[in-house]
Amino acid sequence: MNPITHFFLSWGVANALPNSTRRHRAIITLAGVAPDLDGLGIVAEVLTSKTQQPLHWWTDYHHVLGHNILAAIVVTSIAALLASSRVHTALLACLAVHLHLLCDVVGARGPDGDQWPIPYLLPFSSSVQWMWHGQWALNGWQNIAITIAAVGAAFVLARRRGYSPLEMVSTRANDVFVDAIRKRFPL
């Protein structure tokens, strides 16, 4: 799925505990998007596409490097190291990473109809390739509906709890936003 969809779904996971902190929510949300860092190779691939030695870092490494059990362990460990409540944060970060992988299995079919399997046991074994024959397209209506639902949930959470993903950039921007939606949608 799109990184934006992963972001808002992970934000939902980050809000699973009502007494979470801003830092806890940021760590879990970023953990849920982290697997797609392996897609950054697209920059090198596009920049070198017309050269004599084009790099295929996106084609070769996206959905490979960051979408496996070792990456999940690394992301979960970093989340635990950065957090003050290590167990809760690590568990939810691990959940966010696996929700990401699951979402990619169900909804990341390429425009050419290409299925994109998840090599879950890499680098230890390539024997497992998660795939689902019903996988819908990356730009399918299902992904759009899930994104709208996740963004809607973020609005409801912001209205109720007083924090939105904006707090990751600026608490002031978050407060202005929460104030605005509370005025617009009073109890």
Using a 10 angstrom Cβ sphere, with 0-12 exposed, 13-18 middle and 19 or more buried, the burial of residue 176 is exposed
For CA atoms 100, 80, 157, 174, the dihedral sign is: negative
- CB closer to Zn ion out of 13 and 158: 13
Instruction: Please give the residues from 102 up to 131 whose contact with Zn ion meets the rule CB under 5 A.
Output: 104
What is the rounded distance in angstroms from the CA atom of residue 182 to the CA atom of residue 187?
A: 8
Smallest separation (angstroms) from Zn ion to the CB of 84: 28
- CB closer to Zn ion out of 104 and 167: 104
Contact status, residue 75 vs residue 34, Cβ threshold 8 Å: yes
Smallest separation (angstroms) from Zn ion to the CB of 6: 7
Smallest separation (angstroms) from Zn ion to the CB of 12: 17
Smallest separation (angstroms) from Zn ion to the CB of 36: 5
Task: Give the residue, chosen from 5, 11, 31, 36, that forms a contact with Zn ion under the rule CB under 5 A.
Answer: 36
Query: How distant is the alpha carbon of residue 118 from its chain centre?
Result: 15
Q: Is 38 in the site for Zn ion (CB under 5 A)?
A: no
Q: At what angle do helices 86-107 and 141-161 cross, to 10 degrees?
A: 150
Which residues form the interface with Zn ion (CB under 5 A)? 35-36, 104
